[in-house]
A and B are shown apart, each in its own frame.
Chain A
Amino acid sequence: MAASAVASPRVHDFKVVLLGEGCVGKTSLVLRYVENKFNEKHESTLQASFLTKKLTIGNRRVNLSIWDTAGQERFHALGPIYYRDSNGAILTYDITDDDSFQKVKNWVKELKKMLGTDIMLTIIGNKTDLEKQRNVSVETAEQYAESVGATHFQTSAKLNRGVEEVFLDLSRRMIEQADKQDAEKRALSPSSRSTAAGNVVLLEETPAAPIKSGCC
């Protein structure tokens, strides 16, 4: 590829944390995304665990480590261990359960408070396979997401709908954020500009069409 000759591809290591109420489908989303599996009968997550996924966006290589956490309210006490240093957070609710959507709002507040704008937020309404039992309207959720600067997606881990897009979008935004932070750094230290500038700068808007992702 010609482009990669211009800018040596940089590998991003991103940490993403999944938060949300119990049984909204956090584990299922990761499993679907990373291993393309769906297990109706999995265990509840008590001990947070993580899975990794490699993907390529444009000429950027991204290593995602995706942290899956316990959902029960009292485990929020352990939350900071997992979201600290995260580049992105996926806040999940169950479209059939309004309470779980309210929980997302709590998480957003906490993350904003603890991490400011450094962390990219994605809100997802999972279980669209249960559309008939929907209790959270798309408009409400989208409006809310917009108001807090998050993107909003609807997914069904069970039917494998929309899962891939969530992680792609989040990865793109995390790359942008990383670029922005790099740029800020360079602006602050002129010395590094001369050496690093050519390599990493503002490649492009992320290309719309040829997005490859896959586990390598």
Chain B
Amino acid sequence: MLVYVTGEDGLSFSLQPTMSNIQSNAQERRDIVARYDRGRDENATIDPWEDPAFEVYHKRDRYGFIHDQRIPSSTKNDSKMVETELKRVHKWLQMLQNWDNVVGTEKFRRRIYKGIPNKVRSEVWRRLLKIEEIKREQEGVYKKMRDLAREQSPEIRQIDLDVNRTYRNHEMFRERYGIKQQALFHVLAAYSMYNTEVGYCQGMSQVAALLLMYMSDEDAFWAMSALLSDKKYAMHGFFLPGFPKLMRFQTQHEAILKKYLPKVKKHMDKHDVHTNLYSVKWFFQCFLDRVPFHLCLRLWDVYLYEGERLLIAMAFNVFRMHEKAVLKLKSMEGVVDLLQRNLELDFGYPDDEVVKRLGECMDELRRSKLDLPTSADNELPTKPFGLLYNPTVKQMRDFVDTRPLSAVANGRTSQSSSDGKSFEGLNGSLSSPPSSAEKDTKKETGRISPLRPSSRQQSSSSPTKVSVYENVQQQEGAYGRGNRVRPVEQPPSSSSSAAPPLEHNIGDHRYVSIVQVTTEKPPLLSSEGRKGGRLAFGPDTVVEKSEMYTREFTTSPLRSPTVFPRLTAAQIQSQKQGLKMQSDVFRYGTSNGDMEMKLASRLDGVMTSNHGGATVIRIGTE
């Protein structure tokens, strides 16, 4: 063997390797090869992480869940599945580049049903939920809500309890107060401020956690928002107090069983297996914790594509695929065990088959028009999202009094000073934190975040976005002021009405306010409840709350971002009449194009008046 070496001087010379060199090189090579031939030496000392017996390798599945037992080593089937997925990744990457053209196609649908490869799942889910668009539209809102929640969210306690017990068997959430637990906490807390009608409901933590396995906290927040308020999913109605949508979906589900699987339905009735005993997690969390996680991801793929009809179809599919098993079980216990526990451990069919038959169920239901229950209006959000604080009646009056809107609208007041002043006036009198009667969690006494000029500067720095509203809702300050209540033996009921939106501009900012007057029967409440008691009510008592929502937009024209339903013009119109009825409380006028709002009679403390025989008690604080 000759080795040529080029020296610095450019001269080449040959080097004759010595015999010993050759021998030692050869030996080394042989040793190396031999070591591979021999395989691992059981006696060698190695670091724990080098040991494939290192338990975590065997307990963590490909989705990050840590199991108590070793996961059986992958079968041929598994590796084939992974291989197919890898092949599909390529196709999906192409589709992602050509998203708008491909998204409505039959091919796209087919591929969704085949399963989104886990590698691109995050991106596809984000696209399906239109997260980028929302985020652009609502820039800064998540952070704002998150910060606000730290000070004010009345749901913090429950959220904390639940973060502590959400998917602790997943590597992301195992560590108490770890990064993903922080994210989960912030997403839920922020959302509780953002959507005050729902606040936080158990069940949401699992959904948020799933989203966080695939996206950042801000994205997960907007994904939550889309899932709750986009009509396609409308989970809002599930989580809303009273669970109106759950009832509606359960009824639909029962009707389907009755029609297509009458034997099963009879069997369930015979053994007292109420739909409620198994369907809560199916509907609230789209089958999370009720089918194996890998199958659940496939269901979520379809759910995000098809929307809420997936829930109905899959509920049907479960019974269709397990009809025999269900009929064999002769006790409620057995059936519930199957549906609540055993199907999660093992669904009994390959995922592909489950999803294929799910598609068939969906088609069949669609044909017979049973794929969705009749819609219900009372399940959608009615309050604007992302409002920042609750003023008292007096503050609302001051707001109006100190700011002649005509002057503002005509631009006679300069933006910064007038805003700062008037809004500070608003805040200045906020002596007590708003305590919402519906929220019974421990009070978070915190400073109320004012509408600060800074927020406006922030928003005007990028004039294209529609964002940042502050504000305003409801006064119930008289609660908790030592007024003790006689319980009223009546279920709570309520109605609400809204005035046409008040609009005005300051500089390039547009403010839109809606005043909503809610009357409700006071709920049955003990005087010892932690809510601190309410006023004494007779059976005819109606409590009236006035809520004003103001949003600030940095651009006109005003538009409704897709996932931000506000009261529509039609809704407002239909509710206008209700407002007139209460014209002794508020009056709206539009003379000269300006809005004026007057509060009749006294504002401080509690007022009562008669309204068609019922006593109206208005609650407001000084």
Task: List the B side residues contacting A105 at CB < 8 Å.
Answer: 526, 528
Once bound together, how far apart are the Cα atoms of A49 and B284, in whole Å?
Answer: 16
Give min CB distance, B88 to chain A, whole Å. 32
Task: List the B side residues contacting A50 at CB < 8 Å.
Answer: 333, 336
Are B242's CB and A47's CB within 8 A? Answer: no
Q: Is B34 in contact with chain A by the CB < 8 A criterion?
A: no
Q: Is B80 in contact with chain A by the CB < 8 A criterion?
A: no
Stretch at the interface among A38-46, A152-160, A203-211: A38-46
Give min CB distance, A70 to chain B, whole Å. 6
> In the complex where A50-B336, A77-B241 touch, is A42 in contact with B165 (Cβ < 8 A)?
yes
Q: Which of B488-532 contact A (CB under 8 A)?
A: 526, 528-530
Give min CB distance, B75 to chain A, whole Å. 29
Give min CB distance, A135 to chain B, whole Å. 13
Are A44's CB and B277's CB within 8 A? Answer: no
* Best-buried of B205, B277, B289 by chain A (most CB within 10 Å): B277
Of A43, A65, A78, the residue contacting B333 (CB under 8 A) is A65
Q: Is B276 in contact with chain A by the CB < 8 A criterion?
A: yes
Give min CB distance, A5 to chain B, whole Å. 30
Of B241, B281, B529, the residue contacting A47 (CB under 8 A) is B281
Q: Is B588 in contact with chain A by the CB < 8 A criterion?
A: no
Once bound together, how far apart are the Cα atoms of A22 and B163, in whole Å?
Answer: 13
| Nearest B residue (CB) for A51 | B333
Q: Is A99 in contact with chain B by the CB < 8 A criterion?
A: yes
Are A44's CB and B162's CB within 8 A? Answer: yes
Q: Is A81 in contact with chain B by the CB < 8 A criterion?
A: yes
Q: Is A23 in contact with chain B by the CB < 8 A criterion?
A: yes
> In the complex where A81-B276, A102-B528 touch, is A44 in contact with B241 (Cβ < 8 A)?
no
Task: List the A side residues contacting B206 at CB < 8 Å.
Answer: 46
Give min CB distance, B161 to chain A, whole Å. 4
Are B333's CB and A72's CB within 8 A? Answer: no
Q: Is B578 in contact with chain A by the CB < 8 A criterion?
A: no
Are B165's CB and A73's CB within 8 A? Answer: no
Once bound together, how far apart are the Cα atoms of A70 and B284, in whole Å?
Answer: 13
Q: Which of B242-263 contact A (CB under 8 A)?
A: 242-243
Q: Is A109 in contact with chain B by the CB < 8 A criterion?
A: yes
Are B202's CB and A78's CB within 8 A? Answer: no
Are A74's CB and B205's CB within 8 A? Answer: no
> In the complex where A50-B333, A72-B201 touch, is A106 in contact with B241 (Cβ < 8 A)?
no
Are A44's CB and B243's CB within 8 A? Answer: no
Once bound together, how far apart are the Cα atoms of A70 and B241, in whole Å?
Answer: 14
Residue-wise, chain A 28-68 has the 8 Å CB interface mask toward B (1 for contact) of 00000000000001111011111010000000000001000
Q: Is B203 in contact with chain A by the CB < 8 A criterion?
A: yes
> In the complex where A49-B336, A65-B333, A77-B243 touch, is A44 in contact with B530 (Cβ < 8 A)?
no
Are B336's CB and A72's CB within 8 A? Answer: no
Are B161's CB and A22's CB within 8 A? Answer: yes
> In the complex where A41-B168, A46-B202, A81-B276 touch, is A74 in contact with B241 (Cβ < 8 A)?
yes
| Nearest A residue (CB) for B200 | A72
Task: List the A side residues contacting B528 at CB < 8 Å.
Answer: 102, 105
Task: List the B side residues contacting A109 at CB < 8 Å.
Answer: 526
Are B161's CB and A44's CB within 8 A? Answer: yes
Q: Is B585 in contact with chain A by the CB < 8 A criterion?
A: no
Give min CB distance, A214 to chain B, whole Å. 19
Once bound together, how far apart are the Cα atoms of A50 and B168, in whole Å?
Answer: 22
Q: Which of B149-176 contact A (CB under 8 A)?
A: 158, 161-162, 164-166, 168-169
Are B278's CB and A81's CB within 8 A? Answer: no
Once bound together, how far apart are the Cα atoms of A210 and B289, in whole Å?
Answer: 42
Once bound together, how far apart are the Cα atoms of A106 and B531, in whole Å?
Answer: 13
Q: Is B270 in contact with chain A by the CB < 8 A criterion?
A: no
Task: List the A side residues contacting B529 at CB < 8 Å.
Answer: 102, 106
| Nearest A residue (CB) for B289 | A43
Q: Is B340 in contact with chain A by the CB < 8 A criterion?
A: yes
Task: List the A side residues contacting B280 at CB < 8 Å.
Answer: 46-48, 78
Once bound together, how far apart are the Cα atoms of A43 and B412, in whole Å?
Answer: 58
> In the complex where A23-B161, A47-B278, A50-B336 touch, is A74 in contact with B201 (Cβ < 8 A)?
yes
Q: Is B440 in contact with chain A by the CB < 8 A criterion?
A: yes
Once bound together, how far apart are the Cα atoms of A102 and B442, in whole Å?
Answer: 13
Are A78's CB and B161's CB within 8 A? Answer: no
Q: Which of A52-110 contact B (CB under 8 A)?
A: 52, 65, 70-75, 77-78, 81, 99, 102, 105-106, 109
Interface of B with A (CB < 8 Å)? 158, 161-162, 164-166, 168-169, 201-203, 205-206, 241-243, 274, 276-278, 280-281, 284-285, 289, 333, 336, 340, 440, 442, 526, 528-530
Selected A-B contacts with CB under 8 Å, 9 pairs: A22-B158, A22-B162, A42-B165, A46-B203, A49-B336, A70-B202, A72-B201, A74-B241, A81-B277
Interface of A with B (CB < 8 Å)? 22-23, 41-44, 46-50, 52, 65, 70-75, 77-78, 81, 99, 102, 105-106, 109
Q: Which 6 A-B pairs have the closest CB atoms?
A: A41-B168, A47-B280, A23-B161, A74-B241, A72-B202, A47-B281
